[in-house]
Amino acid sequence: MRIDKKLLSVFLLLGIGIALFSCSSSGREGVEEEQFAKYWYQGKAEINVFDLQQSRYGEVRPGKAVMIFVTEDFSKKKQVKLDNPQDNPNDAQKVLKLNMTREFLTGVYPYHTMLSVFTPVYEEASSPKLSASVTEWCGQSYTQMNFKNGNYSFQQFSYFESEGDQSGKTAGVAEEEIFNLIRLNPELVPMGNVKMIPSLIFQRFAHIPLKGEQATISKKDLGQNQSEIEVVYNEIGRKISIRYQQFFPFEILGFTETWTKANGQQEVTTATRSNMQMMDYWNKNEKLFEPLRKDLGL
């Protein structure tokens, strides 16, 4: 049987394409696509509410922390959420986004913090972007880090003269990326001695320079299907422990931050999860949905 050469070329190209597609895999070996998609691609966000005991100015303040985990399409080039990813699929990157807020009072005035972390779901790559803000009656500060050419470029803005508008570069694993790596698969969290960029919220609270620090990361089994990852920075006296479920979707159950100051004084912050719901909250912005906050414990 004779086969047309042009037709044969088409078959060969199709065969190569199918082979490449079937052999391609996510760089994140621990991310099981079917399991991940069934949970994270259902058009909802996971809202976690925590009872917060925030240490600030030498006293522990009760408050609330909220972690919102959701997947979205992210621009590799602009490092922002894509409005229409279908228009430029080559620029689209699927990320797991964490938005985390804390609210507590310091005497007569309130504190509000917000952190955003964008972590690739499939590529074995650093989180391309992190940002953090702190607002209170004295003023506000904002930090943004963008991963470019193997380093994080950062910009900082603050109402403090000594911490005013700054920009620079630093290297290391972003501490707050650990929350997202746990959600993807705890095995993705690096262990041992690691150069790490401390929490952007802590960095603002402690008024320390934004730079990579040596840290030691370890993991231990707590029993009852729970584990804990601990990060210890000896130089700056910081320790954070993150407790999570050992099975998918690896829910975050709580965390503890300990800061030992140069004078030996310790400030300990704890957050314990009290509620979790899957919700398309962006479609619930009318007054009639406000009772849902009570259901969440907010």
Residue 266, amino acid: Q
Q: With respect to residue 149, please indicate whether it lies within any of the assigned structural domains.
A: yes
Q: With respect to residue 10, please indicate whether it lies within any of the assigned structural domains.
A: no
pLDDT value at residue 16: 36
Q: What is the pTM of this model?
A: 0.89
Scan for tokens 């880090």, then name that residue. 145
Residue 93, amino acid: Q
pLDDT value at residue 232: 98
Mean pLDDT value of segment 98-124: 97
Residue 158, amino acid: S
Q: With respect to residue 39, please indicate whether it lies within any of the assigned structural domains.
A: yes
Domain count, the chain: 1
Rounded to 5 degrees, φ, ψ at 169 are: -135, 150
pLDDT value at residue 8: 38
Q: With respect to residue 7, please indicate whether it lies within any of the assigned structural domains.
A: no
Percent of the chain topping pLDDT 90: 82
- Among 267, 265, 293, which Cα is nearest to 279's? 293
Q: With respect to residue 102, please indicate whether it lies within any of the assigned structural domains.
A: yes
Domain extent, residue 227, equals 32-296
Scan for tokens 């479609």, then name that residue. 283
Residue 176, amino acid: E
Count other C-beta atoms under 10 Å from residue 222's C-beta.
Answer: 12
Rounded to 5 degrees, φ, ψ at 77 are: -80, -50
Residue 31 CA to residue 39 CA, distance in Å, equals 12
Q: With respect to residue 122, please indicate whether it lies within any of the assigned structural domains.
A: yes
* Peptide bond preceding 249 in cis form (omega within 30 of 0): yes
The predicted-structure confidence for 134-162, as pLDDT tens digits, reads as follows 999 999 999 999 999 999 999 999 998 88
Q: HSE (CB half, 13 Å, CA atoms) of 190?
A: 15
pLDDT value at residue 28: 79
Tell me: pLDDT of 9 over 60: no
- Among 97, 114, 112, which Cα is nearest to 45's? 97
Mean pLDDT value of segment 205-230: 96
State how beta strands 59-75 and 129-136 pair: unpaired
- Among 254, 259, 190, which Cα is nearest to 222's? 254
| Element containing residue 231 per DSSP (H, E) | strand 226-233
Q: With respect to residue 57, please indicate whether it lies within any of the assigned structural domains.
A: yes
pLDDT value at residue 2: 43
Q: With respect to residue 14, please indicate whether it lies within any of the assigned structural domains.
A: no
Mean pLDDT value of segment 116-124: 95
